[in-house]
Amino acid sequence: MNIAANPVVEADQTVYLKDYQKPSFLVDSIDLDIRVYDDHTIVDATLNIKRQTAGDLVLLGRDLELKSIRLNGDLLTEAEYQLDAEQLVLSNVPDQATIQTQVVIHPESNTMLEGLYQAGDLFVTQNEPEGFRKITFYPDRPDVLSVFTTRVEADKKYPVLLANGNLLETGEAGEGRHYALWQDPTKKPSYLFACVIGDLAVLRDRYVTSEGRDVALEIYAIEKDIPKCHIAMEALKHSMRWDEEHYGRAYDLDNYMIVAVSQFNMGAMENKGLNIFNTSCVLADEEYTTDAAIMRVQSVIAHEYFHNWTGNRITCRDWFQLCLKEGLTVFRDQSFSEDLQSAAVQRIDDVAVLKSHQFPEDAGPLSHPPRPDHFVEINNFYTATVYEKGAEINRMMSTLLGQEKYRQGTDEYFRRHDGQAVTVEDWVAALSAGSGVDLSAFLNWYNQPGTPKLEAKGEYDAATQTYRLSLKQSLKAHPKYPNLKAVPIPVALALFNANTGEQYTLRSADLFVNNVKDGVYLFDQDRATIEFTGVTEQPVVSLLRNFSAPVNLDFDYSNDELAFLIQHETNGFNQWQATQTLLERILLEDHSAQAYIQALKNTLPELVQRDPLLASRLLDVPAEGYLGSRIDQNYQPEVVQSKRNALLDTFAREMGTFWKETYQALDPDLQNEFSQAMGERALKNIALSYMARQGDADAFTWAEEQYQTTLNMSERLGALKVLLWNDAPQAKACIDDFYNRFNDEALALDQWFMLQAAHPKANAQTIQYLTSHPDYDLGTPNRIRAVSGGLNSHPVNTWSFGVQHFIELARYLDEKNPIVGSRMLQVLSRWYTLAEPQRSTVQQQLLDLKAQVKSKNVAETLNSMLSI
């Protein structure tokens, strides 16, 4: 018997893109037999393999107890193969052969939530990127595609037995056990394999595709959560139709199953025909989940569904190409969500995430290109850069092409590569060929790290009625990526008449599309100047409308010009962007707040009536964490916090009765449209918190009333937040009441943890109380994220008592769940920007941790963090 033990970190385990080689063998088909018992699981695998190139047969496997291996029916002895902690290698294998293995695995004690694991009463899989090798020996890499036939057997206490594809057969297996046999007719890589064993209820529906296929839709969850699955079901049908209409892609199997599980490392997983979802990304119900969570559920449902074509039917050649499927699929789900609610607000929310997560990542020690060229642990590369920046690259190409050409390009991609495992180059080449526009310069975006800086200067010549815009781009040098090249930057822009507020029609020979109001200029050199003619009066320019490129814009606006844009920009995104630019100046460069306050006073009353959701976003004040990420040295979180609080106090005061009147005027229950109601709820909560800041005696009474009387989670939590974070006399009773109401609802209980951890005056005792609470569970990533995410909403707390919390968490998870451990540690990645003595203190704690960690995940993250 051989036990492949946990790997230990060796000197250099770096994998390089340049070393990519095709696998020696392909797998035509695999038969899996998975027999689950209480204290072990037996996995039999039969692989029909075929040689592709010269070389040994390499079957990857980790933590597997090998019981037997046969080659063409003959039992092999230990001398006939080489086995180590990572792989099983056979030499001199015939060009065509059958390999049979039997292994024993232990899902019941698998705390890493990777491979097959037990979560409560449920057994589920998570195989992307390299989990399948923890189930059986296999060429576990995305360029090996095979037909999977899966027999799942378990005790009848688990009535539900699922795997990918079509159900061929079910039956008795003796001793109170039963089995189900599934076959997935579509060839797929092993990372898309899934099976589920458990006792679940199901919500069923149907969808007939544009090609006439009648698809059975099923969402599996525990019985009491089934009523919370309807929004997800509607979103699924909506996504199916959207993909047909926008990309011409129809679904290809007779069933589509989604399973909700409460212990899951990330949001969801697109396994072929059998998605597995974190409950937080599938359960949606106004009573138990917030509006933001409901929006997220719809977008994640769409994301995983869209993967069926961008990811599953066309997959990645290797894991360096991860952003091929993720960047494209995120762009697709963002576009879907833009159709679902206000497009401007969706864009605001997506860019806010990009700027608060991806920009700091790209400016720090964890910076990497969307398509990295080396890694130690691929799980560390499911990053904001791969996902969100990857999406931005696709958005830029689609902006340039326009709807029709973009569609011709994607059609060509699906035509060329259906059923293949491909690269980023293949995608850009197909998009170029289909659209007739050479997009190859966009490969620079995929291959280079860092956020480009776009410096722009404007000059108006009244005599010739000409406006000249000079542009310059630059990228910060990166030690690992020399020879950085200019990238193509689509600059969407508009000019407004500063006196009348009207928008000019753009006249310039330099524009991609001329004589329009919204122009796009393709800036692909180091420097350029564009000239606009017929500009009769002093203009105000609005740049990067809709955030047309993921760059840091440096334009010397006056505060009055920004205030002008807040009031006159017709692009909701840039209206919001003007508020954010102005606020950054006020908060980080000590500018006066007057221009901002006056602009909002002029804009809000009308906007609150017309578009409450957009109005709620115009009230965004950059979070302390985001502001901190804009400071590269001598960062003092407490200084940022007190400046921000001072601004909020001023703003609360100066807006006078606006808050109270707004709170009283709005009634979300009267709105028919979800996004209108959502906007009004958001506004009312903001108004309540400003009323509290004003010291208005009604604030707490109204908050308590809102808390007690509502049946809507956004309203209940919004009110509770005001009470709790302001230490209102009613706070204790309400937070206890919340616990009593929802202690059997895991997702709502996460909010209970989060809200307390996010108290601005939380301290080490608060965290101690929460993490030793009987409902705190280190085996449930959602619960960990609730406390850690709450705590991290105030960098003052993160960088004081929080450091110890995150270090201890990383140390514990290093062994138990390194994927999540590595994530948690990344919270501290900007330690080097802190002012002394904090900087050295945190550095020392990280160095101490480095000596103790074992997993590749945590070790790689820590090494990068310390190599600044």
Q: What is the x/- site pattern for ligand B3K, positions 585-624, by CB under 6 A? A: ----------------------------------------
Q: Which range in 35-43, 303-311, 508-516, 763-771 contacts ligand B3K by CB under 6 A?
A: 303-311
Instruction: Yes or no: say if 220 and 201 are a contact pair by the CB < 8 Å rule.
Output: yes
Tell me, by CB under 5 A, how many residues bind Zn ion. Answer: 2
DSSP 634: S
316 binds, among Zn ion, ligand B3K, none (CB under 5 to 8 A by kind): none
Q: Which is nearer to ligand B3K, 128 or 750 (CB)?
A: 128
* Residues 189 and 143 sit within 8 Å (Cβ to Cβ): yes
Nearer to ligand B3K, 285 or 333 (CB): 333
Q: Which stretch binds ligand B3K (CB under 6 A): 200-208, 266-274, 281-289, 567-575?
A: 266-274
Given the complex with ligand B3K, which of 240 and 345 has the nearer CB atom?
A: 240
Which position among 270, 392, 624, 750 is part of the footprint of ligand B3K (CB under 6 A)? 270
Alpha-carbon gap, residue 599 to 587, rounded angstroms: 17
Q: Which range in 80-88, 300-308, 555-563, 757-765 contacts ligand B3K by CB under 6 A?
A: 300-308
Is position 569 annotated as part of the catalytic site?
A: no
334 DSSP β-pair partners: none
Part of the chain binding Zn ion (CB under 5 A), chosen from 326-334, 378-386, 391-399, 826-834: 326-334
Q: Which of 307/759 has CB closer to ligand B3K?
A: 307
The residues in 355-394 that bind ligand B3K, with binding defined as CB under 6 A, are: 379, 382
Near ligand B3K by CB under 6 A: residue from 42, 119, 167, 266 = 266
**Stretches 133-141, 265-273, 574-582, 790-798: which one binds ligand B3K (CB under 6 A)?**
265-273
- The length of the chain, given as a count of residues: 868
Q: Which of 286, 304, 388, 704 is catalytic?
A: 304
Place of tokens 């060929």: 433
End-to-end CA distance of the chain, in Å? 45
C-alpha torsion 800→805→807→810, nearest 10: -150
The verdict on 326 binding ligand B3K (CB under 6 A) reads yes
Q: Does 303 bind ligand B3K (CB under 6 A)?
A: yes
Helix (H) or strand (E) holding 706: helix 698-709
SS3 324: helix
Element (H, E) at 126: strand 122-126
> Which lies closer to ligand B3K via its Cβ, residue 628 or residue 818?
818
CB of 191 to Zn ion, least distance (A): 12
CB atoms within 10 A of CB 739: 15
Asked whether 127 and 191 are in contact (CB, 8 A), the reply is yes
Least CB distance to ligand B3K at residue 303 (A): 6
CB of 167: closest distance to Zn ion in angstroms?
26
Give the integer Cα–Cα distance in Å for 149 and 47: 11
Q: How far is the CB of 268 from ligand B3K (least distance, A)?
A: 6
Which residues share a beta bridge with 218? 204, 257
Q: In whole angstroms, how close is the CB of 323 to ligand B3K at the nearest point? A: 11
Rule CB under 6 A: which of 110-129 touch ligand B3K? 128-129
484 near ligand B3K, judged by CB under 6 A = no
Q: How far is the CB of 376 from Zn ion (least distance, A)?
A: 22
Nearer to ligand B3K, 307 or 357 (CB): 307
User: What residues pair up with 268 in beta bridges, in sequence order?
Assistant: 277
Cβ closest to Zn ion, residue 329 vs residue 548? 329
Would you say 308 or 797 has its CB closer to Zn ion?
308
Residue 344 contacts residue 614 (beta carbons within 8 Å):
yes
Which residue's entry shows tokens 């709620």? Answer: 616
Amino acid letter, 442: F
**269 scored as a contact of ligand B3K (CB under 6 A):** yes
Residue 553 binding ligand B3K, by CB under 6 A: no
Token pair in block for residue 35: 């027999």
Give dist(CA 247, CA 414) in Å, integer: 10
Residue 326 CB, nearest distance to Zn ion (Å)?
5
Task: Yes or no: say if 523 and 514 are a contact pair by the CB < 8 Å rule.
Answer: no
426 binds, among ligand B3K, Zn ion, none (CB under 5 to 8 A by kind): none
- Three-class secondary structure of residue 792 per DSSP: coil
Tokens linked to 472? 């310059």
Residue carrying the six token digits 């000590």? 590
CB-nearer residue toward Zn ion: 329 or 577? 329
3-class secondary structure, 108: helix
Nearer Cβ to ligand B3K, position 186 or 379? 379
Rounded CA-CA distance 686/683 in Å is 5
* Binding residues for ligand B3K restricted to 816-845, rule: CB under 6 A: 819
In angstroms, give the least distance from the CB of 265 to ligand B3K.
Answer: 6
What's the rounded Cα separation, in Å, for the pair 371 and 369?
5
Least CB distance from residue 61 to ligand B3K, whole Å?
A: 19
Phi, psi (deg, nearest 5) at residue 711: -115, 15
Give me the least distance between CB of 330 and ligand B3K, in Å please.
Answer: 8
Comparison of 342 and 379: residue with beta carbon closer to ligand B3K: 379
Span from 55-63, 276-284, 319-327, 527-535 in contact with Zn ion (CB under 5 A): 319-327
Under the binding rule (CB under 6 A), the answer on residue 141 touching ligand B3K is no
CB of 270 to ligand B3K, least distance (A): 5
Q: Does 134 bind ligand B3K (CB under 6 A)?
A: no
- Please, which residue, 270 or 361, has the CB nearer to Zn ion? 270
What is the closest distance, in whole angstroms, from the C-beta atom of residue 256 to Zn ion in the complex? 16
The Cα–Cα gap between 710 and 719 comes to 10
Tell the burial category of 42 from Cβ atoms under 10 Å away from its Cβ (0-12, 13-18, 19+).
Answer: middle
Nearer to ligand B3K, 89 or 266 (CB): 266
- Residue 388's binding partner out of Zn ion, ligand B3K, none, with CB under 5 to 8 Å set by partner kind: none
Longest dimension (CA), the chain: 94
Partner residues linked to 71 by β-bridges? 74, 99
Element (H, E) at 713: helix 713-725
Structure token digits, residue 72: 């063409």
Binding partner of residue 128 among ligand B3K, Zn ion, none, CB under 5 to 8 Å per kind?
A: ligand B3K
- 652: CB partners within 8 A, 6+ apart: 659, 690, 691, 693, 694
Helix (H, G, I), strand (E, B) or coil at 185: strand
- Which of ligand B3K, Zn ion, none interacts with 269 (beta carbon under 5 to 8 A by kind)? ligand B3K
Site string for Zn ion, 327-366 (x = CB under 5 A): --x-------------------------------------
Closest CA to 279 of 200, 188, 185: 200
- Residue 607 binds which of Zn ion, ligand B3K, none (CB < 5-8 A, kind-dependent): none
Q: How far apart are CA 269 and CA 259, in angstroms?
A: 10
Residues 860, 822 contacting (CB under 8 angstroms): yes
CB neighbour class for 185 (10 Å; exposed up to 12, middle 13-18, buried from 19): middle
Nearest CA to 275 out of 242, 245, 308, 249 is that of 308
- Closest approach, Cβ 183 to ligand B3K, in A, equals 23
Residue pair 368/450 in contact by the 8 Å Cβ criterion? no
Kindly indicate which of the ranges 169-177, 262-270, 550-558, 825-833 contains the residues binding ligand B3K, using the contact rule CB under 6 A: 262-270
Choose the stretch contacting Zn ion; rule: CB under 5 A; options: 134-142, 324-332, 566-574, 706-714.
324-332
Q: Hey, which residues does 699 pair with through a beta bridge?
A: none
| Binding positions for Zn ion, rule: CB under 5 A | 326, 329
Give the residue numbers annotated as catalytic, written as ranges: 304
| Binding positions for ligand B3K, rule: CB under 6 A | 128-129, 266, 268-270, 303-304, 307, 326, 379, 382, 819
